[in-house]
Structure 1
Amino acid sequence: MLGTTMKNLSIRVSQKPFIDRQKFPYGFRKSGDFSIGEADILTGYGKTLLALECGELTPETDDERHFVDFVSGKVDADNTIERTWAKYVRLSRGKKHFYTLHSTAASNQSDYDEDYSDEAFDVA
């Protein structure tokens, strides 16, 4: 599937699938953050891209050199692999925002709490 999606790019496919269990414990596909195509790109090319980014792998093709320039900030993302990697980096290394539906206790207090008196409701 990777060959048909990225047939024009000459970036090496990883020998083993790329998995990030820390940030995406159920995989890229089940995370809800990536499309199926993006998940396939990360799984197939992720180890190569990470090694190129960290300098552990020397770029051999023009596309790999462009990717290294991209992750260095010298050029903008030019293809699907680079855009997918940028999305992965943003989601995995950026701050994860957590939104709650509950308000703080201080904001729950009404403006008229001081005026309330339970003497008017003496039932006994």
Structure 2
Amino acid sequence: MAKQTRETLLKQIFNDYKNYPYGFSRSGDFSIKESQALSKYGQLICALLDGVIEPSNKEDASLLAVALGQQEPTSVAEKAWVRYQRIIEQPKPASIYGSKPASMDDYSVDSAELEAEYDD
């Protein structure tokens, strides 16, 4: 495996198909600039958090500090990352109808009951 650098990570597009199967820009959660920033800087931020690479400049150090919650976000990429983390960490709302869709078996009616209703 080739050693990853900041430049190679910035060329890779960040996607989260689990939480955003149609992409960040189509989700409605992010502005155009934020979705572009997430796509561009997401791989870099993940690599910084995982310790794959070390911060090589002030921008990288700032991205890492914001991602770890040690500093307030100032750039578009930092604000987008904080919003992204907040959204994916929220518990998903449960359905008021239960965990599975209702089937016709749930509404069983005895044929004798139906005949009695229509005979009247």
Aligned length: 92
Residue 64 of structure 1 deviates from its aligned partner by 0.8
Q: Distance in 1 between matches of 2:54 and 2:11?
A: 16
Q: CA RMSD in A?
A: 2.2
- For normalisation by structure 2, the TM-score amounts to 0.66
Unaligned runs of 5+ in 2: 1-5, 98-119
Determine if the alignment matches structure 1 residue 71 to structure 2 residue 67.
yes
**Following superposition of structure 1 onto structure 2, how do residues 12-91 of structure 1 map, counting pairs within 5 Å?**
14-91=10-87
- For normalisation by structure 1, the TM-score amounts to 0.64
Q: Distance in 1 between matches of 2:17 and 2:33?
A: 19
Q: Distance in 1 between matches of 2:33 and 2:74?
A: 17
Residue 53 of structure 1 deviates from its aligned partner by 1.8
Contact 2:33 2:76 in 1 (8 A): no
Q: Distance in 2 between matches of 1:83 and 1:98?
A: 28
